[in-house]
Structure 1
């Protein structure tokens, strides 16, 4: 019971982050799920893959709630979602397929270094001249596919990468956060189904379908459903400058958690 209360509280925190930053909260959820599964006697490799798969399933709920809340404020660019969504979903399926044969440790380490660099840039605020990057349609498809693949392997909703890509192309931080919330849907639905299939027939945890743990999903989803709209309200109550800096702080924390997953989990 204590474990499920912990998961529900984790879902509440992740849901708030999802609404605030347009993320799925996986970087918070995965370590907690992993710890709970390990304490229950699970094999570390199965525990990690099940934590990632279960996290992706919870992101379906978080992203849906967050996207709806941002849409009410007219901040979501559905044109971007229509163009990028299919390629993000393709990347998520590829990531789920690779989950059986590849270790994400090196990927996590390099990604963490990149996150630290972007966090420093965000914390500097509006100082200096910012250049807007123009991407060709082919480059956008490649970036979308890579976003889905990396996010699926890590069990996150793609908001961290999505906000960086969208702001680099001239979107305001509010538009980027709102639109990136939709990336989570494109990643989480095919990604979680892929992890179910990837773990099918393997030594699954009790209560799990493949690499998706249903009781863990329900406990975390309860918190995300209730708290994602709160995060969206907080996002729109902050100025663009302040939200950018808050996002920088979040990225620093994300980087630390990714380094922990890469080297110490």
Structure 2
């Protein structure tokens, strides 16, 4: 990699890490569109750029989730019983997500991501939270819920918070516990999804040098270095600024990123 690319990736990782700490969102929301732009500009195979962007984004969560979980655990906010019940389904779903993505061409995958990020941005902009309506389901229901969360997270390269937090809130889990527990779920999502992306991408024709399956390792290392250093700053800033206003601004940014991915789907 040349220094210009390293600087771009550092800036992108810093922005993603800061936003994750500030707003509690998964890095995939920001990273995937930008990584797609960068890989496209670098001349990577057009049929692989979206797959690689999603895989590389998901792999960053392996590293960034650890510090987040540690902070939430110190505050005794993580509901580890819920983590234990959701994780089996999440592991299966997060493994299947990249396999499903491999069956899709780059345009279809970009379209799916664009629609998903549009829905997520709308949820963020409106600030609507599901009303608490019931208790957590039994073991079978939790496995199914974890599987659904894992599949979507594996498909879009995100930590699953936009699905797991509303699900837990709907099931009468207090919001701060839901956010903390969702952060803990990011690790099994990233672990299974990363291993799946390595396995199903291994030996894929057209991958650039220094790829590990669909993961582009140089970009992963640079992004992780920047995002892990900026996430704590974002978390501290969240206590000083009007986060509700920032969420609305960020939602508008997400609409632009969604528009790019939708454009990418048809070009």
Shorter-chain TM-score above 0.5: yes
- In the alignment, is the contact (CA less than 8 A) between 2:89 and 2:142 conserved in 1? no
Post-superposition CA distance 1:185-219 (Å, at most 9, x none): 11111111111111111121111111011100110
Post-superposition CA distance 1:220-257 (Å, at most 9, x none): 0001221222233345x379xx6566556545543543
Identify unmatched segments of 5+ residues in structure 1. none
- In the alignment, is the contact (CA less than 8 A) between 1:159 and 1:180 conserved in 2? yes
What TM-score, normalized to structure 2? 0.85
Partner residue of 1:224 out of 209, 213, 227: 227
Q: Determine the structure 1 residue equivalent to 2:135.
A: 134
Q: Determine the structure 2 residue equivalent to 1:211.
A: 214
What TM-score, normalized to structure 1? 0.85
Moved more, 200-209 or 132-141: 132-141
Q: Quickly say closer, same or farther: Cα 1:140–1:247, change in 2 above 3 A.
A: farther
Q: Determine the structure 2 residue equivalent to 1:182.
A: 184
Q: Determine the structure 1 residue equivalent to 2:44.
A: 42
Q: Quickly say closer, same or farther: Cα 1:71–1:238, change in 2 above 3 A.
A: farther
Q: Determine the structure 2 residue equivalent to 1:63.
A: 65
- In the alignment, is the contact (CA less than 8 A) between 1:115 and 1:255 conserved in 2? no
- Residues 165-180 of structure 1 correspond to what in structure 2 (within 5 A)? 165-180=167-182
Identify unmatched segments of 5+ residues in structure 2. none
- In the alignment, is the contact (CA less than 8 A) between 1:119 and 1:252 conserved in 2? no
Q: CA RMSD in A?
A: 2.6
Q: Determine the structure 2 residue equivalent to 1:114.
A: 119
Q: How many residues align?
A: 258
Post-superposition CA distance 1:3-55 (Å, at most 9, x none): 11111121112222333344331121112222221122111221211111111
Q: In structure 1, what is the Cα distance between the partners aligned to 2:57 and 2:264?
A: 19
Q: Does 1:261 align with 2:261?
A: yes
- In the alignment, is the contact (CA less than 8 A) between 2:33 and 2:260 conserved in 1? no
After TM superposition, give the deviation of residue 170 of structure 1 in Å. Answer: 2.7
- In the alignment, is the contact (CA less than 8 A) between 1:24 and 1:156 conserved in 2? yes
Q: In structure 2, what is the Cα distance between the partners aligned to 1:12 and 1:247?
A: 18
Secondary structure at 1:99 match in 2: helix
Q: Quickly say closer, same or farther: Cα 1:231–1:176, change in 2 above 3 A.
A: farther
Q: Determine the structure 1 residue equivalent to 2:201.
A: 199
Q: In structure 1, what is the Cα distance between the partners aligned to 2:245 and 2:58?
A: 27
Q: In structure 2, what is the Cα distance between the partners aligned to 1:60 and 1:12?
A: 16
Q: Does 1:233 align with 2:242?
A: no
- In the alignment, is the contact (CA less than 8 A) between 2:118 and 2:258 conserved in 1? no
Q: In structure 2, what is the Cα distance between the partners aligned to 1:26 and 1:234?
A: 21
Secondary structure at 1:45 match in 2: coil
